[in-house]
């Protein structure tokens, strides 16, 4: 478990995002400025993350951001012991098993709000933070609604305050929830600002993606060759249950909008035979690309599936989604790319 604040989505006249920088260089400069306000050693951790993201295509920017010195990037935390779990905390862990019994988004939202309330009532500590982290994964799948997402973000931020000083990775988890689920930051925090700027930098790298991949039918697809079309790039795998849930909805939208310029590129890292059998059994008609060497995944900094990126006819990245999305959410994304016939989504 685990699409962008920087992909401009507007609800009731209120912007839910800020425009992404025009270039990777601008995004890197903004990240450097924002991360400079973060105390060490968190600043070093963030800069190492950014340098690693930039290294393959912008090594000179990576070198500029990479911190210097033997202690660079060292975690502020010492060795961690496994926390003891109270009966109440154990009971909340068991409650997470109820997600497998929930069949619709409304019930899922109720369960998320209930669990978040229970987590917030716990005393500060590592277990509370871990439970809040579990909620972040639960809330990102499907459409539990903005109230549930915002409440989980607030819960996670509150749990972070009561645990040992969080590292950059923990801030990045909270930033990802804010960034990809379109909720306002629950608090002002320089480290959270740096994490959001890091995600903005990753978006700028996705904007300049230059992959060229073979499809099951033998054709070669690239974003550059599809300029003038609306392109939804969807990373998936046959073993991924959320992927299998959303793919019929992608097929429905592809059949509805392909004559209006929509192209869906479904990219899998798996063997041709595995992917071909799955697609043949399901009868999906959108192009399915093979990324065995992980080049496209690296271009988009994909570390889990499903994940989707939407480009408009000018080749501009306008929306993203991490984890499963339903038909209404995909339709709302398509509106951002200039397909006005797509019905209004849930935001």
Mean pLDDT along residues 9-26: 49
Instruction: Summarize the confidence of residues 325-334 as an average pLDDT.
Output: 93
Average pLDDT over residues 138-148: 87
The tens digit of pLDDT for each residue in 253-301 reads 999 999 999 999 999 999 999 999 999 999 999 999 999 999 999 999 8
Judged by phi (left if over 0) then psi (alpha if -120 to 50, else beta), residue 132 lies in alpha
pLDDT in tens, 36-60: 999 998 999 999 999 999 998 999 9
Question: CA-to-CA distance for 337 and 232, rounded, in angstroms?
Answer: 10
Which residue carries 């930033």 as its tokens? 175
pLDDT for the residue 7: 34
**Whether the predicted pLDDT of 314 surpasses 80:** yes
How does pLDDT run across 194-236, given as a tens digit for each residue? 999 999 999 999 999 889 999 999 999 999 999 999 999 999 9
Q: What pTM was computed for the model?
A: 0.83
> Could you check whether the bond before residue 41 is cis, i.e. omega within 30 degrees of 0?
yes
- With cut-offs at 50, 70 and 90, classify the pLDDT of residue 8: very low
Chain segment 73-128, per-residue pLDDT in tens: 455 545 555 668 899 999 999 999 998 888 788 999 999 999 999 999 999 999 99
Q: Which residues contact 283 (CB under 8 A, 6 or more apart)?
A: none
CA–chain centroid gap for 140, Å, is: 9
Domain limits of the chain?
Answer: 212-336
Confidence bin at 347 (pLDDT 50/70/90): very low
Q: Which residues contact 211 (CB under 8 A, 6 or more apart)?
A: 222, 223, 291, 295, 296, 299
pLDDT for 82 equals: 63
Averaged pLDDT of the chain: 88
Write the DSSP string, 285-325.
-S-EEE-TT-HHHHHTT--SSSEEEEE-TTS-EEEEEES--
**Residue 340: which pLDDT band, with cuts at 50, 70 and 90?**
confident
What average pLDDT does this structure show over 159-183? 91
> Is residue 11's pLDDT more than 80?
no
Structure tokens at 140: 């990102």
- 257: helix, strand or coil: helix
Q: What is the pLDDT averaged over residues 165-178?
A: 94
Reported confidence tier of residue 342, pLDDT bands at 50, 70, 90: low
Q: What is the mean pLDDT of residues 59-75?
A: 78
Beta strands in the chain (DSSP E): 10-11, 14-15, 212-214, 220-222, 230-235, 262-268, 288-290, 307-311, 317-322
CATH of domain 212-336: 3.40.30.10
| pLDDT band, very low/low/confident/very high, at 320 (cuts 50, 70, 90) | very high
Give the pLDDT score at 70. 58
pLDDT for the residue numbered 72: 58
Per-residue pLDDT at 22? 62
pLDDT at site 66: 95
pLDDT, average across residues 315-339: 92
């Amino acid at each position: 478990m685990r699409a962008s604040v920087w992909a401009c989505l507007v609800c009731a006249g209120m912007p839910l995002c800020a425009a992404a920088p025009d270039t990777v260089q601008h995004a890197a400069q903004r990240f450097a400025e924002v991360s400079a306000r973060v105390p060490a050693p968190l600043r070093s951790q963030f800069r190492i993350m950014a340098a690693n993201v930039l290294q393959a295509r912008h090594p000179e920017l990576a070198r500029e951001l990479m911190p210097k010195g033997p202690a660079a990037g060292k975690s502020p935390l010492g060795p961690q012991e496994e926390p003891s779990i109270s009966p109440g905390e154990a009971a909340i862990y068991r409650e997470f098993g109820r997600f497998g019994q929930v069949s619709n988004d409304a019930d899922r939202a109720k369960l998320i709000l209930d669990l978040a309330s229970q987590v917030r009532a716990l005393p500060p500590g590592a277990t509370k933070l871990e439970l809040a982290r579990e909620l972040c994964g639960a809330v990102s799948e499907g459409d539990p609604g903005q109230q549930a997402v915002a409440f989980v973000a607030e819960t996670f931020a509150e749990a972070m305050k009561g645990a040992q000083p969080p590292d950059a990775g923990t801030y990045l988890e909270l930033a990802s929830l804010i960034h990809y689920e379109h909720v306002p930051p629950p608090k002002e925090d320089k480290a959270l600002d740096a994490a959001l700027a890091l995600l903005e930098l990753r978006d700028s790298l996705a904007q300049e993606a230059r992959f060229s991949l073979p499809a099951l039918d033998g054709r070669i697809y690239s974003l550059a060759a599809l300029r003038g079309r609306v392109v939804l790039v969807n990373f998936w795998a046959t073993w991924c249950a959320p992927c299998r849930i959303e793919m019929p909805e992608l097929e429905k939208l592809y059949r509805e909008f392909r004559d209006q310029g929509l192209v869906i590129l479904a990219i899998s890292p798996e063997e041709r035979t595995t992917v071909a059998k799955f697609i043949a059994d399901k009868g999906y008609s959108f192009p399915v690309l093979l990324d065995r060497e992980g080049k496209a995944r690296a271009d988009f900094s994909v570390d889990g599936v499903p994940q989707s990126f939407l480009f408009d006819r000018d080749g501009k990245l306008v929306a993203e989604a991490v984890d499963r999305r339903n038909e209404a959410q995909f339709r709302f994304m398509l509106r951002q790319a200039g397909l006005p016939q797509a019905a209004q989504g849930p935001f």
